[in-house]
């Protein structure tokens, strides 16, 4: 997926500002809400359109669902490792093939991460950073908020993929 011009700066500004303003609980609540929007959009795709790539579209709805889950699994697993153990883990859960399996696995990964965020923090000052592919080095709080942005962005995309132009 191509990032629109100027979006990188807007996203980076947002995640940095909100990571500094919001408590861990406030961030967790907002991520939960965004993931709920994503899950609703993913389940709303009719079965007969799930694997159809509409003309001019980069992905089918199922490809979009699998993409967002794959990226979110990596992000959530790394955030959980940092807040739980103070390390950035390398091993990321695999993404299943079917919509329901993807959504079930995704929900479990996100819930585990948000539970870890709420329970404690091995990196209270958010000093551990790792490289985001287009936002640069981010700490766990900023990475957590990218889950929100990514989920909402692809929820909107899933709605658009159901209605060809």
CATH number of the domain that residue 27 is part of: 1.20.120.450
Residue 121, pLDDT score: 77
Residue 163, pLDDT score: 73
Contact 154, 68 (CB under 8 A): yes
* Number of domains the chain contains: 1
pLDDT mean over 87-110 = 95
Residue 1: band (very low, low, confident or very high) from pLDDT cuts 50, 70, 90 = low
Question: Could you give the dihedral angle defined by the CA atoms of residues 110, 83, 125 and 30, in that order, rounded to the nearest 10 degrees?
Answer: 10
Is the per-residue pLDDT at 156 higher than 70?
yes
pLDDT mean over 84-110 = 95
pLDDT tens-place string over residues 108-117: 999 999 999 9
3-state class (DSSP) for residue 119: helix
Residue 2, pLDDT score: 65
- Tell me whether residue 1 is in a domain: no
Residue 165, pLDDT score: 60
- Tell me whether residue 2 is in a domain: no
Residue 123: band (very low, low, confident or very high) from pLDDT cuts 50, 70, 90 = confident
What count of Cα atoms within 13 Å lies in the side-chain half-sphere of residue 120? 5
Tokens of 134: 């287009």
Which has more pLDDT, 161 or 62? Answer: 62
Q: Which DSSP letter does residue 96 get?
A: -
Q: Which DSSP letter does residue 87 get?
A: S
The domain in which residue 68 lies consists of: 9-161
Q: How many angstroms separate the CA atoms of 34 and 28, rounded?
A: 10
User: What's CA 55's distance to the chain center, in Å?
Assistant: 26
Give the containing element (helix H, strand E) for 30. helix 24-44
Residue 122, pLDDT score: 77
- Tell me whether residue 4 is in a domain: no
Selection from 99, 97, 93, 67 nearest residue 80 by Cα: 93
Residue 151: band (very low, low, confident or very high) from pLDDT cuts 50, 70, 90 = very high
Tokens of 48: 């007969």
Q: How many angstroms separate the CA atoms of 19 and 145, rounded?
A: 7
Tokens 């990218």 map to which residue?
146
């Amino acid at each position: 997926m191509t990032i629109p011009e100027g979006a990188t700066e807007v996203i980076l500004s947002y995640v940095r500002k909100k990571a500094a303003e919001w408590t861990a609980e406030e961030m967790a609540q907002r991520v939960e809400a965004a993931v709920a929007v994503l899950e609703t959009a993913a389940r709303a795709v009719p079965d007969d359109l799930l694997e159809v790539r509409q003309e001019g579209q980069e992905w089918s709805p199922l490809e979009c669902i699998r993409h967002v889950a794959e990226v979110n699994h990596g992000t959530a697993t790394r955030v959980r490792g940092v807040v739980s153990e103070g390390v950035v883990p390398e091993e990321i859960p695999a993404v299943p093939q079917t919509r329901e399996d993807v959504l079930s696995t995704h929900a479990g990964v996100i819930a585990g991460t948000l539970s870890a965020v709420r329970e404690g923090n091995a990196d209270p000052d958010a000093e551990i950073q790792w490289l985001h592919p287009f936002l640069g080095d981010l700490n766990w709080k900023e990475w957590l908020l990218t889950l929100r942005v990514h989920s909402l962005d692809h929820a909107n995309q899933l709605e658009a993929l159901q209605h060809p132009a």
